[in-house]
Chains A and B, each alone.
Chain A
Amino acid sequence: MERVLGDKKTILVLLGPALIVYTVVMLAPVVISMGYAFFDGNAITGFTWTGTDNFQRLFDDPDVRSSLWFTLKYGLILTVLQVGLGYGLALLYVFVLQRGSALVRTLIFFPVVLPTVAVALLFQKLFEIAPQEGPVNAFLGVLGGSPIDFFGDGGHAFWVVILMDLWRSAGFYGVLLYAGLVDVPEEMLESARLEGASTYRLVRHMIIPLSMPVLLSALIFSINGTLKVFDSIVALTNGGPGNETTPLTLYMFQTSFSYGDYGYGASIALMLTVLCLLFTVFIFRSARRDVTEA
């Protein structure tokens, strides 16, 4: 039995294809990309060694600073909002709608499966001011306000991106956290309620601690996704106006493919990867501390 379960040839045949594709197309490029960071040039012109110049440039480049700032601001604000809103939805499903929540859950989840580009183009037209006045500006007009040029100003554009991504993802986090909340034992909540615990205290001291593991997965998943934001921004604002809504991902893309500077692009990509890694580790560690203190 041991021999058959550990048969080397079978393992090779079954694991081989996946491992080869994964190593050649993902792991190797990650390593080579790190190498690119020490060179200048691109696929067509060839590469020249420049040592640590690209890293020096990262520190001095004001565009890196602004896109890093945008990435962090976007990632943190959207993570808090989408996990928060998702948690609100999950509480609504479990404790208010209860058994009747299936239909609402299904409807609110729907935007999750829509292609980002299609949604972004739709939101562009929803918030448009000219030549066509979109419903949002028309609605502002009815309320007596003056129309706003949402994409002409970086501050407004930022919030349109946030709103769109909330619209796309809230249903997803609702369902994700709902799955964690239905596991909270009903009897435990019932007995706490009988002893006179308020809803607020119930949520604060019982429901949140009990759903901590799934809340943690949601946070890690969210920060990892939001730091890598690309599709929504490219399709909605393309980084504009100017570069006011340009995240690191888009700046890397422009540097590499519009300016043909692979070396510098690779060092921006490396910075992004390190950022994702740092945040994941940070959330893991701070969560572990919370659990041991409680």
Chain B
Amino acid sequence: MSSRALSEPAPPIRTRRSGRFRLARISWTWPALLFLAVFFVVPLGANVLRSVTGPETAAHGIFAYYTKLLTDAYYAGILIETFRVATVTTLVCLLVGYPVSYFMVRYAGRWNGLIVFCLIAPLLTSIIMRTFGWNVLFARRGLFNTWLVQSGLIDRPLDILNQPVMVYIGLVHVLAPFMVLSITSVLQGVDVRLEESARILGAGKIATFLRITLPLSLDGIATGCILVFVLTNGSFLTMLLLGGGKVTTLSLLIYQQFNLTQDVAFAAAMGNVLLLFALVCLALQARFVRREGVKQ
């Protein structure tokens, strides 16, 4: 920083040239900015407008839909449910994902590439396909039930598919790779010699993990958690296809408001609340994920 400050001012010729170059660089971003403006900023603005100009705003003020969403017991319950589903999914992903990441970074060696492939490959198939896969496995006459009945553990097939737990299984299945990849990328920067140093200094395996590895991988954990949390908030197909409609979250409600009830203004208000959730999460990530000091 200081050395750069010392070297300025640069010779005039260089300044002029680099100034022109900077201008050129900004102009290159125009197409992308235009695209974003037309297909992202404008629709977003339209959505905000829609949420404050719907039919109910005439009677109850422009925030009528937001008031309804936050004060009506049913909708407030759904907000809480949304938060709960996202939190539980995030925690389960973390508990499932961290050991996988640790194994990949410390022990997988040349198998690392294969594991990364196995993690990414499911992301290439449609989420609907992956979700229906669970139907095949857990249906009344599916593989799991047939196996349990034949082995004599149960008399009648279990109704697993229509339980809320199915939603969590589906979500964790889809989102765990994001957690694993986030943690892996940070854990790779944690020098194994730091762990060895701790061991030599008298720390056991657990103490080494808790005092060295875990604190140094917090950035990856935070990134993974925020990613999974936001993605859970945004997913509705899993709730729609699994769990027999027992888990209703905000995103599923938006889908229903648009397609079934066709209360577009209310759906828009919900969408904005969900967007606010995501923005808060991103702000948290920007605030707490420092990305410093892991690599020396």
A, B bound:
no
